[in-house]
Amino acid sequence: MNTTSPLSLRGVLGAASLGLLLSAGTAMSQVIDLEGETVTIVHNAAPGGSTGLSSQVLADVWAQTMEGNPTIVVQSVEGGALTRGIQQVMNSRPDGLTIGYVAWQGTTRILDPEELQIPFQDAGIIGGIGGAAFFTHVDAEVAADGDAFANLESLRFGGFSPRSAPSMQMAGVLDLLGVDWSFVSGMGGDGPLRAAMERGEIEAYPATVSIYLQDLRDGPIAAGETTGIYHIGRIDEDGAEQPIEAFGGAFPTVTEYLAAQLGETPSGPIWDMIMFHSEASAPVNWLVMAPPGTSEEHLAMLRESFAEAVQSPEYLEAATNVFGGEPNIVLYEQMLDIVNTVQNTPEELRETMRAYIAEMEG
Amino acid sequence: MLQSFFDGLVLIVSFPAILYLFAGILLGLWLGIVPGLGGVTGMVILLPFTFGMEPAPALAMLLGLFAVVSTSDTVSSVMLGIPGTIASQATVLDGHQMAKRGLAQTALGAAFFCSAFGGVLGGIAMALSLPIALWIILAFGSPEFFLLSLLGLVMVGAVSGNAVSKGIGAAALGLLLSQIGYPVASSTPRYWFGNPDLLDGLPLVPIFLGLFGIPEMMELAARRTSIAHIGDTRAENDSLLQGVREAMKNKWLAIRCSLLGVYTGMLPGIGSAVVDWLAYGHAVQSAKDRSQFGKGDIRGVIGPESANNAVLGGSLIPTLAFGIPGSGAMAILLGALTIHGFAPGRSMLETNLDVTYSMVWTIIIANLIGAAVLAVWGRQVARAAFIDGNLVVPAVIMFIFMGSWLWQPSMFTWIVLLSVGLFGYLMKTGGWPRPPFILGFVLGPIMENAMSITYQSYTPLEVIQRPTVLILLAVVSVVFFLAVKQTRKRLSDFNIEITRESRGSLYLSSLMAVIMCVVFAVAIWLALDWTPLSRITPIFVGIMGLITMAFVIGSDFTKQRRFARAEDGEAGGTIGGFLAENRSELAIFAMIAVMVAATPWIGTYAAVIAFAAFFMKFWGRYSLLWTAVYSFGIWVVLYVLYDRMLHTRFEPPFFL
């Protein structure tokens, strides 16, 4: 005979639920014990490229600094124009077992349709890594130096897509110089762009510091076949552009170059667009984040261990191999500022970028 | 240079590089056999381990692994009718038919021999081409790429058999589907219908696994026999050596296709996804007697297998010389080079030439060893053709679905796989050749990219002033002319899809053509407002598709009338009979569909294991004990291989 009344059963279930909720709440507010666990770093690009390699390099070092020393594996979740990997992290449980290392393209992603927007501010932001600084690489037969470049009547330059920030910046600089330009899209990466320039399909392109150090500096630039005009520098706390050390002073920053060519410091909406990308896009290629809902205590541990990992000599050495130069480390506070800046981009700036994209699409 | 060549050999044969090379070869052989895994998966797994290694052993292991995958992937193509990797799609057509006729060993013998030959020739060609590598790559600009892609498309005629209009229609559909997602020259995605999964287009791996793998498994299960249905004996004269003899007899075909592989490999993006079809098309076009193609012609194995192993040698050249990785595997290799401090460019052809040559040696040695290992093992592999098909189907379905999942872990991938599987079955049943669909799908983005860059970078006068353009135009014209001539003379009197034409199959074919008409028309309508560079390809393809569909519907109608005029009232069978003939296959498909539908509810583990258990017990009629043992085996593979080794993120049950 069943002696348990429905009321008492309900009471037991209720008490059990309350107990579960309380214990879950307690667990949520603590650093999650990761000892013996496998943490997955999800990145949103194809395996093998700089995203995959640099996330692996980070995983190897971070496993040593993260509390509990979990095993960290890297998983590629590509697709959806980089959104699939980001969404996977955003939709993961905040159980400490998933971390995102995502190419975020924040400054141009804000131009996407509503359904593709990502509320990065809701994620548990940990930090960011920047590996790519760009300079303008030109066929020397087209422009042998900066003066000749500024006096060009027209220029055909290449890039991956009209939405890429370095291409948009280059178009903006050409407009400020009064050079008529056309854009050739469809060439992803330094290799295809350089081959296209050697074939004469394009006359210039934004090249990375990595390929500059690895090949261009001592190769075609040293041989006088090609040249560099200016580079996109780093924006400091005062909003001033500082040179990237890896270029070794070979080319001026875009601010210095334009000031010299125009006779005054540039200003206006085009310049604002160029600086916006420099400030918000250039420092960070990869946003490191935890799923929304991760407890502050756990996030604090992740931020601390991330900072320790990315500033360790072991990481810097390995990352330098991947990027061809030392990476730009962005810690939590700065990353949060960047995310907020991007999410609050003024409408006028968005319109300027949309206009450029439309023009680059022809 | 000669010194560097031998220094490269020393780098590879010295300890411990040689050990790592062997390890890579063994892993590569295994990865090639399992459908859906492939060399890229292996390289992704191994890459992190190479970070702390010396460059020579690291590169030897990665390249050794990748070099042999396109040798062992033949096993799946021949034995199961499922391409082990994308590089062995064309081998399915004749290789699997040979296995069905009890000639698996002959097919495998020819394939292994030609793979080794092609791989070695590819390595040698790479070594010889290095001094002129930069010139070759720079000679081929976007206009040339466009024409080469067009040349690939012209091969549609050769891989369509006697169903040319359906072949062109299938190619048009493949081209149209390749337009989904972001175009090259626009930031507005096409045909994505608000679904982010479609922004990067449809994934290739589920497409080729679904198109060939699912229909083959549906038929095998429905047949309730082993793969070979000639009884439990091998056909006369079936041996690996016989395959080698056949390959020797067709040595010029093997040489031509190997060279085709090398030089196609040099062209980034075209590479392994297309080269086996180009080689198959060439084998068909250059044959005097085409009647056996599609039914188990050894030349249909020799051509693709010679070409697909030779691709690697060629594809290394743009990777090393310019840092242009033409494929996912080359991107990973490039990553490994970067990690070890090597920069692609002139240094790989000058100061680090010994490392470059070590890769040449790796390719040569790996291909020889890989083929030798498989040849030793080939006799046992061929016996799999006589295993009860009911034991094969659940395991292969698991590999197909998990192989696709691995590339893009989402339910969308499975839905694509399932849909393409059904579409592949309908194509096969309706007499629509499937290879042109793949050709169109793979070549579409390459063609559009090349066309877009050409339009943006060149004037028309600049294009036609390029000597290479004129040469390629002449080649395309000649190949096109020959294809038309052969079609008109009905010389292509062979079936790519072995389908018994009946009233039912013709109705199905016509229905597919009508649906495709609607698809093409809607595609054109949607494209009208896009930017010029975004809309030109879909509109052109849509119009071509509509015209071709009109031909198909007309041709099917004529054949229907022929059946109607026949004195025998049963000629062409009845619709009811046609449906009854395909009932078992559709039942299997329904079981697979239930597995997919149940996955979001009960999770990947439970869905896949439940499918295997249900199939074994109720379709295969195995005992409970056997069913339990088999299902446990499926769980072990899921857990050990996909979960623990490959870190695949499974779909959890809804309550977790």
Ordered by start, the domain boundaries in chain B are 2-499, 591-645
Per-residue pLDDT for A11 more than 70?
no
Residues A272 and A309 in one domain: no
User: What's the rounded Cα separation, in Å, for the pair A125 and A123?
Assistant: 6
Per-residue confidence band for B258, with pLDDT thresholds at 50, 70 and 90: very high
Burial of B617 (0-12, 13-18, 19+ CB in 10 A): middle
Q: Kindly report which listed range (A128-137, A154-163, A318-327) carries the lowest average pLDDT score.
A: A318-327
**pLDDT at residue number A67:** 94
Q: Kindly report which listed range (A130-139, A306-315, B8-17, B131-140) carries the lowest average pLDDT score.
A: B131-140
**B392-419 average pLDDT score:** 91
B2-16, pLDDT tens digit by residue?
Answer: 788 888 889 888 888
Residues A268 and A152 in one domain: yes
Query: Which chain A residues touch B184 with a CB distance below 8 Å?
Result: 161, 185-186
Per-residue pLDDT for A4 more than 50?
no
**pLDDT at residue number A1:** 37
Measuring CA to CA, which residue among B58, B120, B41, B57 is closest to residue B313?
Answer: B120
**Is ipTM over 0.90?**
no
**pLDDT at residue number A145:** 94
What percentage of residues in chain B have a pLDDT greater than 90?
39
Alpha carbon B283 to chain centroid, angstroms = 17
Query: Does residue A20 lie in a domain region?
Result: no
Q: What 3-state DSSP class applies to B271?
A: helix
Query: Does residue A352 lie in a domain region?
Result: no
B309-318, pLDDT tens digit by residue?
Answer: 898 888 888 8
**pLDDT at residue number B229:** 64
**pLDDT at residue number B559:** 85
Residues A244 and A227 in one domain: yes
**A228-235 average pLDDT score:** 92
User: Using the beta-carbon criterion (under 8 Å), do B187 and A191 form an inter-chain contact?
Assistant: no
Distances from the Cα of B514 to the Cα of B406, B509, B527, B549, angstroms = 35, 9, 20, 7
Helix (H) or strand (E) holding A306: helix A296-310
User: What's the rounded Cα separation, in Å, for the pair B129 and B268?
Assistant: 16
Residues A138 and A270 in one domain: yes
Residues A57 and A156 in one domain: no
Q: Which chain B residue's Cα is nearest to A314? A: B52
Q: Which residues contact B574 (CB under 8 A, 6 or more apart)?
A: B503, B504
**pLDDT at residue number B569:** 60
**pLDDT at residue number A5:** 43
Top-confidence residue, B339 or B369 = B369
User: What's the rounded Cα separation, in Å, for the pair B91 and B71?
Assistant: 11
The total of structural domains in chain A comes to 2
User: What's the rounded Cα separation, in Å, for the pair B36 and B21?
Assistant: 23
Q: What is the CATH number of the domain that holds A68?
A: 3.40.190.150
User: What's the rounded Cα separation, in Å, for the pair B213 and B398?
Assistant: 11
Q: Show the CA angle centred on residue B211, arms to residues B206 and B215, nearest 5°.
A: 120
Q: What is the DSSP string of B120-161?
A: HHHHHHHHHHGGGHHHHHHH--HHHHHHHHHHHHHTTTTTST
**Dihedral Cα B109, B113, B116, B120, nearest 10 deg:** 180
Residues A53 and A113 in one domain: yes
Q: Which residues contact A60 (CB under 8 A, 6 or more apart)?
A: A72, A318, B48, B51
Residue that is written with structure tokens 């062979």 in the block: B494
Q: What 3-state DSSP class applies to B503?
A: helix
Per-residue pLDDT for A79 more than 90?
no
| Strands of the sheet with A98-103, listed across from one edge | A71-76, A38-43, A98-103, A286-290, A124-130, A328-330
Top-confidence residue, B493 or B402 = B402
B584-631, pLDDT tens digit by residue?
Answer: 999 999 999 999 999 999 999 999 999 999 999 999 999 999 999 999
**pLDDT at residue number B265:** 83
Residues A298 and A212 in one domain: no
Nearest by CB: A81 against B185, B199, B341:
B199
Q: Kindly report which listed range (B184-193, B213-222, B232-241) carries the lowest average pLDDT score.
A: B232-241
Nearest by CB: B453 against A87, A201, A361:
A201
B407-433, pLDDT tens digit by residue?
Answer: 778 899 999 999 999 999 999 899 898
Residues A103 and A79 in one domain: yes
Single pTM value for the model: 0.84
What would the two tokens of residue A212 be? 């500059």
**pLDDT at residue number A148:** 96
Per-residue pLDDT for B514 more than 90?
yes
β-sheet bridge partners, residue A205? A137
Query: Does residue A324 lie in a domain region?
Result: yes
Strand pairing category for A38-43 and A98-103? parallel
Query: Which chain B residues touch A53 with a CB distance below 8 Å?
Result: 47, 335, 338-339
What would the two tokens of residue A350 be? 């968005």
User: Using the beta-carbon criterion (under 8 Å), do A211 and B343 form an inter-chain contact?
Assistant: yes
**pLDDT at residue number A162:** 86
Q: Give me the amino acid identity at B621.
A: R
To test the contact with chain A by mutation, choose from B193, B410, B416, B457 the residue with the greatest count of A C-beta atoms within 10 A, namely B457
Nearest by CB: A48 against B194, B324, B334:
B334
β-sheet bridge partners, residue A73? A40
B261-280, pLDDT tens digit by residue?
Answer: 988 888 776 666 788 888 99
Residues A161 and A274 in one domain: yes
Residues A316 and A212 in one domain: no
Per-residue pLDDT for B524 more than 90?
yes
Per-residue pLDDT for B238 more than 90?
no
Per-residue pLDDT for B449 more than 80?
yes
Per-residue pLDDT for A8 more than 60?
no
Per-residue confidence band for A129, with pLDDT thresholds at 50, 70 and 90: very high
User: Do A232 and A135 contact (CB within 8 A), yes or no?
Assistant: yes
Shortest alpha-carbon distance between residue A333 and chain B (Å): 30
**A186-192 average pLDDT score:** 80
Shortest alpha-carbon distance between residue B397 and chain A (Å): 23
**A131-155 average pLDDT score:** 93
Nearest by CB: A80 against B196, B341, B458:
B196
What would the two tokens of residue B444 be? 């579409």
Distances from the Cα of B430 to the Cα of B217, B494, B568, angstroms = 18, 16, 22
User: Do B77 and B396 contact (CB within 8 A), yes or no?
Assistant: no
User: What's the rounded Cα separation, in Å, for the pair B101 and B98?
Assistant: 5
Nearest by CB: B182 against A59, A81, A318:
A81
Per-residue pLDDT for B542 more than 50?
yes
Query: Which chain A residues touch B531 with a CB distance below 8 Å?
Result: 361-362
Residues A293 and A202 in one domain: no
| Strands of the sheet with A180-184, listed across from one edge | A180-184, A154-158, A204-208, A134-139, A226-231
Q: What is the CATH number of the domain that holds A254?
A: 3.40.190.10
A266-317, pLDDT tens digit by residue?
Answer: 999 999 999 999 988 878 889 999 999 999 999 999 999 999 999 999 999 8
User: Using the beta-carbon criterion (under 8 Å), do A196 and B453 form an inter-chain contact?
Assistant: yes
Per-residue pLDDT for B332 more than 70?
yes
Top-confidence residue, B234 or B84 = B84
Query: Which chain B residues touch A40 with a CB distance below 8 Å?
Result: 647, 649
- Domain residues for the domain of A340 are 38-131+282-346
Q: Which residues contact B225 (CB under 8 A, 6 or more apart)?
A: B388, B389
Average pLDDT, chain B: 87
Residues A288 and A238 in one domain: no
